[in-house]
Amino acid sequence: MLATFRLCLACSSRRIAREVGVHIRTSYRWCWWLRNAALSYEMHRQLEGTVEADELSHTAGHKGQAKQGGKKALGRRARGRRQKREPGRGHYDKDRPALIAWVSRQGAVVLQATRDFTVKTVQKAADLAVHAGSRLSTDSASSYRALKGYAHDFVNHTQKAYARGDVHENRAECLFSLLKPYLRVFRGISKTNLSGYVGFFQFLRRFKGLWSYAGIFAQAVCKPIPSGRPAL
């Protein structure tokens, strides 16, 4: 119960191990189990009505793993310097997966970790997250403008336009201002686990307070635990 409480407060598995008094591997296993139990709540959530969308490229590499698989054999403690990254839009192979946020004007949220930000990937992400026929409000990125099956309005940030009446994406942008500090606590995340962390944040935005703890345990007991939400 204490580990669940700390996990919902965005504590790392190392800190949970220290405060609960268990081995780091035990804490990591607990966190993985609880995070995926919460994630199974959010696997098939869809939004409707007016939905805002925005994207973010997040740095996530091979934390604790060698590029060819297995654990790194450094013989020392890993350095904590910031990872170098290439300019431009993110891509899974560049260790910068794209995160897409879909935010309903009624308050519901869907967050997805994707391999890239191409038209095909965004169309697939939209079909999973948003009911067909809903109204989308986005920026002027070409991947959004090519979406099919939705009523689409957009604002052009390159022309210093950020809102046009009720057409804006302010809720989605504000969501990223909460997500980035949440992910920063973990001092880097492996890109293979990024979807689990993002899905757990989505769960916390929906279930707040004590309901989140009760929801995790109920889901963990009643349903089998999935291996995590894969990147699209």
Report field, pTM of the whole predicted structure over 0.85: no
Reading the block at residue 100, the tokens are: 């897409």
Name 145's Cβ contacts closer than 8 Å, sequence gap at least 6.
152, 154
Name 139's Cβ contacts closer than 8 Å, sequence gap at least 6.
54, 154, 155, 156, 157, 169
Q: What is the pLDDT of residues 59-83, one digit of tens each?
A: 887 665 655 555 556 565 555 545 5
Percent of the chain with pLDDT over 90: 38
Q: What is the pLDDT of residue 143?
A: 92
Q: What is the pLDDT of residues 138-183, one digit of tens each?
A: 999 999 999 999 999 999 988 888 898 899 999 999 999 999 999 9
- Mean pLDDT over each residue of the chain, to the nearest integer: 81
155 vs 159: CA distance, rounded Å? 9
When pLDDT is averaged across residues 226-231 and rounded to a whole number, the result is: 53
Query: How big is the chain by its Cα radius of gyration, in Å?
Result: 18
Q: What is the pLDDT of residue 66?
A: 58
Residue 84, amino acid: K
Cβ(137)–Cβ(130) under 8 Å?
no
Q: What is the pLDDT of residue 104?
A: 93
Residue 114's DSSP bridge partners are: 98
CATH number of 46-62+87-187: 3.30.420.10
50 vs 47: CA distance, rounded Å? 9
Q: What is the pLDDT of residues 31-44, one digit of tens each?
A: 888 888 777 777 78
Report which of residues 208 and 13 the model is more confident about: 13
13 vs 9: CA distance, rounded Å? 12
Delimiting residues of CATH 3.30.420.10 domain(s) in the chain: 46-62+87-187
Q: Work out the pLDDT band at 137, boundaries 50, 70, 90.
A: very high
Strand 50-57 and strand 135-139: the pairing is: parallel
Residue 186 has pLDDT above 80, yes or no: yes
Residue 135 has pLDDT above 90, yes or no: yes
